[in-house]
Amino acid sequence: MQYVSTRGSAPALDFEGVTLAGLASDGGLYLPVEWPQFSPDEIRSMRGQPYWQVAVTVMRPFIGDSLSEAELIAVCKKVYGTKFAHAAIAPLVQLDQQHWLLELFHGPTLAFKDVALQLLGALFEIFLERRNERLTIVGATSGDTGSAAIHAVAGRTRTEIFMLHPKGRVSDVQRRQMTTVRAPNVHNLAIEGSFDDAQAHVKRMFTDADVTGVLNLGAVNSINWARLMAQVVYYFTSALQFGAPDRRVSYSVPTGNFGDVFAGYVAARMGLPIERLIVATNVNDILHRALSSGDYSAGGVTPTITPSMDIQVSSNFERLLYDAGGRDGAALAQQMRSFEATKAMQLTNRQAEGAAALFASCAVSQIETSRAVQQAYQASQQIIDPHTAVGLGAAHALAAAGALDPAVPVVTLATAHPAKFPDAVERAIGVRPSLPARVGDLFGREESYVDLAGDYAATRDYVLEHAAATGAA
């Protein structure tokens, strides 16, 4: 399978190439040249298979020659056979007649990002071994990505990771999930300033010749195609349990960077009969405005009890604009350049109509989010995290408005374990969720991180001084 950039001018790459490259060199994001198709019979034949086996079937066409059949089976069995605390990996829980939860938080750091990052960590190692190279991963996190990425690469020999977090602005659980991992290839950097400042340092490092001249840099954010591909799998495993391809399912997805819900779009393009994909946002609602009125304009970020969805712009939305808009890279490059200059744009008619065929959207306020936590607890005895509650609140709101077919089940993606956000949950229902035993003594372990000033040079110099790796091993 070959991959092309949404902005049309970067060279096409194979799966191994896009996995190691992250962002395309023209500033675009990689997508496969065409969507693999599964016939109804092929989908039916996946029923009853374990998660790892569905993963092999769904990901096979995307990976092409980059992994042999034996390598793909081995990596899927290893990741989805040993790294998750639930044998189903992504179990369904019924809430009522129409609503279900898809629990995606059974990985090591209690958020859905583990499902893809555990695989990505293993893929990096395979490809780097083959090339005899090393990779220095530099990333910025407002919480969940950092811990999931660190757990995915800790202790590996060909990757090392520098993870920047805004000092004092991530939760205690989130910070400890990063800073208590003691491995020589893990470096935690607490940066003065906001998440956006940390993110800006990371972006600058990727274009700084002093850094790229000596280090082979890699990215783990959801612009990396391999992460989206891994997330397509749980749309298949869950829809199969409802009787796909012979019965349709809708999904409500708590959305920030548009990665998780775009994976649902990919599943639909491959032939999985998805009725609706609900893009659920908090008050940072750029995506809801874009999908409901075509107005894609960025404002400031309002901090909420769902920090992993507090975004200004959603990088992966560009993938939808490209695919739904007719795959015209040159036109999209121009549209994105003008957006980057003015922070605002209108969707074209073709983009808006292409999106409207599958997506619905809803913005959920903080009060509605707390109310959805309460409702799940009182009506169904389920303690849910606030991000999940945004998804469930959106599903309820659209169902009440008559926008959803009552005969079609609605699955809300449960993106984090409630114990990751205990304060917001306790405020809503008066019960403090406890951490599952598998995360161990998180609050008893020693933390390790360095404090750095907010300027770019401090971060760059630290990385250059402490990086063990050079591009060639």
Ligand X SMILES: *Cc1c(COP(=O)(O)O)cnc(C)c1O
Note the residues at the interface with ligand X (CB under 6 A). Answer: 111, 113, 144, 222, 254-260, 308-309, 387, 415-416
Neighbouring residues of 129: CB distance < 8 A, sequence distance ≥ 6? 158
Residue whose CB is less far from ligand X, 177 or 185 = 177
- Whole-angstrom Cα distance, residue 473 to residue 459? 24
Residue whose CB is less far from ligand X, 312 or 349 = 312
- Whole-angstrom Cα distance, residue 287 to residue 312? 10
To ligand X, the closest distance from the beta carbon of 60 in angstroms equals 23
Residue whose CB is less far from ligand X, 228 or 345 = 228
To ligand X, the closest distance from the beta carbon of 462 in angstroms equals 26
Return the closest-CA partner of residue 376 out of 304, 298, 433, 435: 433
Task: Tell me the C-alpha to C-alpha distance, in Å, between residue 97 and each of 91, 370, 409.
Answer: 17, 22, 8
To ligand X, the closest distance from the beta carbon of 118 in angstroms equals 14
With both helix axes pointing from N to C terminus, report the angle between 225-241 and 259-269 in degrees, rounded to the nearest 10: 60
Residue whose CB is less far from ligand X, 128 or 309 = 309
Neighbouring residues of 28: CB distance < 8 A, sequence distance ≥ 6? 5, 6, 7, 8, 10, 318, 322, 329, 332, 333, 336
- Read off the tokens for 15: 């799966």
Known catalytic residue at 83: no
To ligand X, the closest distance from the beta carbon of 387 in angstroms equals 4
To ligand X, the closest distance from the beta carbon of 222 in angstroms equals 5
Through-space distance between the first and last CA atoms of the chain, rounded to whole angstroms? 28
Report the SS3 class of residue 233: helix
CA atoms within 13 A on the CB side of 319: 27
- Whole-angstrom Cα distance, residue 141 to residue 147? 9
Q: CA torsion sign, 324 to 392 to 270 to 312? A: positive
Catalytic choice (77, 83, 113, 343): 113
To ligand X, the closest distance from the beta carbon of 80 in angstroms equals 19
Beta carbons of 211 and 3 less than 8 angstroms apart? no
* Angle CA 176–177–179, to nearest 5: 55
To ligand X, the closest distance from the beta carbon of 15 in angstroms equals 20
- Whole-angstrom Cα distance, residue 123 to residue 127? 6
Residue whose CB is less far from ligand X, 235 or 258 = 258
Residue whose CB is less far from ligand X, 211 or 266 = 266
Strand partners, 138: 162
- Whole-angstrom Cα distance, residue 61 to residue 56? 9
Residue whose CB is less far from ligand X, 43 or 261 = 261
Neighbouring residues of 196: CB distance < 8 A, sequence distance ≥ 6? 301, 312
Residue whose CB is less far from ligand X, 222 or 224 = 222
DSSP state letter for 446: P
To ligand X, the closest distance from the beta carbon of 311 in angstroms equals 7
- Whole-angstrom Cα distance, residue 302 to residue 284? 6
Residue 337's CB is within 10 A of a number of other CB atoms, namely 12
Give the pairing of strands 99-103 and 92-94.
Answer: antiparallel
Catalytic residue numbers, as ranges = 113
